[in-house]
Amino acid sequence: MPSPTAAQDASSFKTHIEWSGSLSANFTVANLSLNQKRNFLSPYFTAGAGYMSYNAETFNTPSGANNGFQRNWFVPVGAGFKLGLSKGVNLDFGYTVAFMKTNRFDGVASGQNDRFSYAHGGFEFALGRRKSSQLQNYSAIAAIREESAAESASLRSALSTAEQRRLADEQQYQRDLGDDDADGVANKFDKCQGTQPNTTVDGAGCPLKVPAPVVNERVIVTEADRQVVNEAIKNLEFDLGKATIRERSYATLNRVAALLVEKNFSLKLAGHTDNSGSMALNLRLSKDRAEAIKAYLVSQGANPSRIEATGYGPNQPIASNKTAAGRQQNRRVEFSIF
C-alpha cells in the first residue's frame, strides 16, 4: 500500500442529499407510567427505514470517484428526550445515526457500510383542541388507571348511599309500626304518645275520659256482617313481599272498621304465607301484614283491645304448595269476627 501523500492528507469529500424520506417508529418511555398521567421529562427512542438520493464529491482523493446521484436505503436510529413546557408545547432534543446500505456514501469504497449522524433541538407545538393531551408526554395507562379508580369510588359511594337509604327506610318502618307506650296503637297513628301502662285508650291512642260501661250481651254476627268481612278479604292486596296495604283495599277495610265500631265486635286476624322462602321470613311477613291491617282498622276508630293479630307463616296451608294456584290460596289473611 503506498504511503500517504500531501494531497491525500488534505483529502476531503462533500455529499449532497438531493432528497430523502424515512418512516420511523417512536417509543416513549413516559407512555408506560402507571401513576403519572403527564410527565415533564419524556425520554424516547426511534428506529425506522428510509430512502434517499445523494451525490458524493471527493477532493484530493485518488481512489475517489464522482458517479453522479445515487439512490440507496438507510436505517435511522435515534434517541432523545422532550421537556413538557406546557400542555401544548414540548422542548425536543435528540440524536440520530443513519446507517447507509452502501460503503460509498462518501465517494470512497471502504470495508464496511457508511453512516452519518446529526443532533437536533427545537420546539414541538400541539395543533387541534386545547384540551387534547400531548402524545409524547402523556401516559394512557395512567389515565385508564385513574378513570378506573374514580369509577370504583363512585360505585362504592352509590352502594353506600343505597344501603344507608335502605337502613333508614327500615328504621322508619319499625318506628311507624312500633308501639312505644304499649297501648295497642302503632306510633304512626298514636296521637297521644307516652300514655301510662294499662290505660284504656281510643283508636287514636288517647285515654278515654269516661270508661266505657261493661255490658254483658250476646254478640250476634249476621250474614250481612260476614259479607262485609268477606268483601274485605277478597279486595285485600299488599305490595309484593311487603306489609304495605295497597290503596284499593281501603274502602272495604273502612266498612269492616265501621262494623267493629258499631257493633263492638271482636276480630281475629291470622296472616298466612306459602312455603316460598325461609321460615323466619314468612313468619315475620305474615305477622307484619296482620299487624298492618290491625293498625289501619284502629286508625279508623276500631278498639285495639278487641283486635288480635297473629302470623302463622306457611304452617297452616289450605291448598298444595306444589302449584302456583295452591300457593296463591295459601297467601292470605283470615278475618274472624265474634
Which residue ranges make up each domain of the chain? Answer: 6-137, 217-337
Q: How large a percentage of the chain has pLDDT more than 70? A: 86
Q: Is a pLDDT exceeding 70 seen at residue 265? A: yes
Q: Is a pLDDT exceeding 50 seen at residue 185? A: yes
pLDDT of residue 1: 32
Half-sphere exposure of 289 (CA within 13 A, CB side): 28
pLDDT of residue 86: 77
| 6-137 and 217-337 share one fold | no
Per-residue pLDDT tens for 123-142? 887 776 766 655 556 666 66
**Spatial distance between the Cα atoms of 193 and 201, rounded to a whole number of angstroms:** 11
Q: Which architecture, in CATH terms, is 6-137?
A: Beta Barrel (2.40)
pLDDT of residue 3: 41
Q: Is a pLDDT exceeding 90 seen at residue 242? A: no
Instruction: Specify the CATH number of the domain 217-337.
Output: 3.30.1330.60
Distances (CA, A) of 59 to 7, 9, 66, 70, 128: 9, 11, 10, 18, 50
pTM, entire model: 0.38
AA identity, residue 181: D
**Spatial distance between the Cα atoms of 336 and 338, rounded to a whole number of angstroms:** 7
Confidence of residue 121 (pLDDT cuts 50, 70, 90): very high
Distances (CA, A) of 301 to 49, 195, 229, 268: 95, 18, 17, 16
Confidence of residue 213 (pLDDT cuts 50, 70, 90): low
The count of other CB atoms within 10 Å of the CB of residue 267 is 22
- Cβ atoms of 221 and 338 within 8 Å: the answer is yes
Q: Is 335 exposed, middle or buried (0-12, 13-18, 19+ CB in 10 A)?
A: buried
pLDDT of residue 37: 65
Q: Is a pLDDT exceeding 80 seen at residue 64? A: no
